[in-house]
A and B are shown apart, each in its own frame.
Chain A
Amino acid sequence: MTRPLSDDDLRAMMTHMIGARVSSQRAFNLQRQGRAGTNAPIDGSEAIVVGAARALDPTADWVLPQYREPVALQRFGPEVLESYVRYILGDPDGGHIPEPVRVWPPQISLATQVPHAVGMAWGMKRTGETGCALVFLGDGSTSEGDFYEAANFAGVLRAPVIFVVVNNGWAISTPVASQTAAKNFAAKSHAFGFPGTTVDGTDILAVYEVVSEARERAVSGAGPTLIEAVTYRLAPHTTADDPTRYMPDDELVAARGRDPLTRFQKELSGRGLWSDDDTTRAEADADAVMEAAIQAAEADRANPIELFDHVHAIRTTRLERQRREWIDHYGEDPR
């Protein structure tokens, strides 16, 4: 049922995890240098995103991320990272991931992407496409009505959708214990009428396994699955956060000892598939890819007049009038 992973798959997964960590840290530093806006590091969730992506078919399935995941979706194409870099640089094109990449842009308004995923899955079911939609959401986001409403409806529809709850222990400063009294997030699936499972989100192979099974269910018409992937947030919530105010030091130190990257590196080394040199090379390659994406985005900043584009399919006469006023005031290209 689950597609066996080749050595190349395994090495690619390791490479993508390292790439995600490197890109995310570069993004963080870019904000510190005043070159990028607020952004949210992925540290701790790499195995969940890379493992899930490996279980999907990028030509058939859709991914709807929250905001940490784009750096780890290399499997869906380099465009995801390129757009993400523009996104954190405040370029409107950061929201445009080009065809045919089946990934939505980051979502800031928490849990709003969950109903969208159900709608896409429903649409695919109607057109007879064999694919599914996978949506990521945080532990905190599960408290929003959008999650419950969407998951409930997905159950009714038997929609081909996979809900991946990334339980990293925190929603900014709010611990999981303040989000829910349930034993775990997977348990919530019982109320929706479809299966749920909790997986160790630091174990990429386990994640791959459960997402593969969920995909099989989805595309065979058996309906949705809720997956809770448990990890720990190894970095501040965002560039704007100071976790020392609320995060117990011992918890963080313990979690660093369960770093998903180290874990998989050990696993692959043990199988003779990975060496320290590979790590060095993967880091350097990822850095170069990120550097190129940053250079490209910085060299091609948006003309502010683009704020009048894509408001409607055809600009209204009123907006056209405002655009002329704007040009009178700022000129055609005030970059």
Chain B
Amino acid sequence: MSHVEEIPDDASQEMNMLEAINHTLHQEMRRDERVMVLGEDVGHNGGVFRATDGLHTEFGGDRVVDTPLAEAVIVGTSVGLAAAGQIPVAEIQFLGFAYQAMHQIAGQAARLRFRTRGRFQARITIRSPFGGGVRTPELHSDSILSQFANVPGLKIVAPSSASDAKGMLATAIRDPDPVLFLEPLRGYRMIKDEVPLGEHLVELGKARTVSDGSDVVIIAWSYMVDVAMRAATELANEGISARIVDLRSIVPLDTEAIAQAVEDCGRVVVVQEAPETNGFASEVIATINDTSFYSLEAPVERVSGWDAPYPTGQLEDFYVPDVGRVVAAVRRVVETP
């Protein structure tokens, strides 16, 4: 049933985020014929961003399905498909439209295992782009990840590199639980790195140290890792050595990696695109409080979107955390005596 390609162990290729996702979907569909892709415009059109380009041609309309325009039924039928032994990879065209599927994601997929005491499992991957900065119409940019982080039973990952996108998407598809796989809209074509061409799995729940540093740790995920990296370059010129930890996985959360970084650096800035109130940064800071309070040399700072709905294009550059705000927060934290 499975078809495994012969690829030399060490072969790799530079890809952007979209190419890595597309490549991984091809590989996982070849590997396991139970894997299906379903969503709006994912078939003939290859997805509005081309993430699913070529799948319909290779695997046909039975496995790569243009659904009616209804997010609830995309996720809801995925629950049923999973119970029937299929492995759906559902696409929500933009995360802001996951609201239309909230009752199926949060109310159903996430708790299927729990309420059937393991009789059924929702082995589903839900892919969706999110995040701002690219002048989209309303609701296309909202960072609503933390709303899902409050839902027991779901896993949530948000990779920031093409290589991680491959490793985590493949792992998500093989994971027995529902995984929300969040893709950085702004980084789709901008983020580029070497992606292993053969089997490449990244364990869900493991953070990644993106760059080393000792004065302060900047904790971020998804596109905010890129912002943090640019901030770190600027800070290096001022003689501030910033470590960057990419959480990669929101649920499960790599508590140990967070604790270790806090112990090593003593000062922390958490960066998130979501509004400040009840964004996932709050949970990160509470975790630091639990694990590493006595390692802290200064109060933890967070850089967030504001407590306003994601705004229209003329305002958005002043809403999404930028390098300047991260640098300023780091300076404040480092200057605390």
Using CB atoms and an 8 Å cutoff, list the residues of chain A in contact with chain B.
37-38, 67, 87, 89-92, 94-95, 108-110, 140-141, 143-146, 171-174, 178-180, 240-241, 245-246, 301-302, 304-308, 311, 316, 318-319, 322-323, 326, 329-330, 334
Contacts and interface: CB of A to CB of B under 8 A. Distances in A.
Contacts of A308: 306, 308
Contact of B48 (A67, A94, A145, A240): A240
A301 B314 contact: yes
A304 B308 contact: no
A245 B311 contact: no
Given A173-B44, A329-B325, 8 more contacts: A90-B314, A108-B140, A178-B68, A180-B68, A302-B312, A308-B306, A330-B318, A334-B318
B312 A174 contact: no
21 contacts: A37-B136, A37-B137, A87-B312, A89-B313, A90-B315, A92-B315, A94-B312, A108-B139, A110-B69, A140-B69, A143-B69, A143-B73, A144-B72, A179-B69, A240-B48, A241-B48, A302-B315, A304-B319, A305-B318, A307-B319, A329-B328
Nearest to B136: A38
A92 B311 contact: yes
Contacts of B315: 90, 92, 302, 304, 306-307
Q: Nearest 3 pairs between A and B by C-beta?
A: A90-B313, A173-B45, A143-B68
Interface in B274-323: 276-277, 306-309, 311-319
Interface size grouping (class) on chain B? 35 or more
B314 to A, nearest CB: 4
User: Which DSSP category, helix, strand, loop or mixed, fits chain B's interface?
Assistant: loop
Contacts of A143: 68-70, 73
A173, A180, A316, A326, most chain B CB atoms within 10 A: A173
B49 to A, nearest CB: 10
A184 to B, nearest CB: 15
A174 B307 contact: no
Contacts of B69: 110, 140-141, 143-144, 171, 174, 179
Interface string B132-145: 00011111100000
